[in-house]
Amino acid sequence: MKVDTVITLENNENCLLLEKAVYENNNYFLSVILNELEEPSEDYIILKEIANEGEKFVERVTNDDLISELLKLFSQNFNKLVDELPNLNEEGAI
């Protein structure tokens, strides 16, 4: 699974995978549920990627302690991306 892809959950809800984090050798995705118009809703979930016999699927993370740890990782990853943005005040920056 890759960031910026849409997956369909078992309940037929579509989710856009926004960010990936690795925690304790498992892949997790911060995801937004898409509405009927396939636009982002206000509902965000964290999904754990599970590989079984060559197939990949996801399960929703519901453990509050794990969610808290993962949100820290997603925030750190986001901050790194922001830090890597070009400085608009520097000469030659777009």
In this prediction, residue 92 carries a pLDDT of: 57
Cα separation, 1 vs 49, whole angstroms? 8
Q: Report the distance separating Cα 41 and Cα 54, nearest Å.
A: 31
Q: Residue 64 is encoded by which pair of tokens?
A: 């509050």
| 47 pLDDT tier (thresholds 50, 70, 90) | very high
78-87 per-position pLDDT tens digit: 767 667 778 7
Over the stretch 16-40, which tens digit does the pLDDT of each residue have? 999 999 999 999 999 999 999 999 9
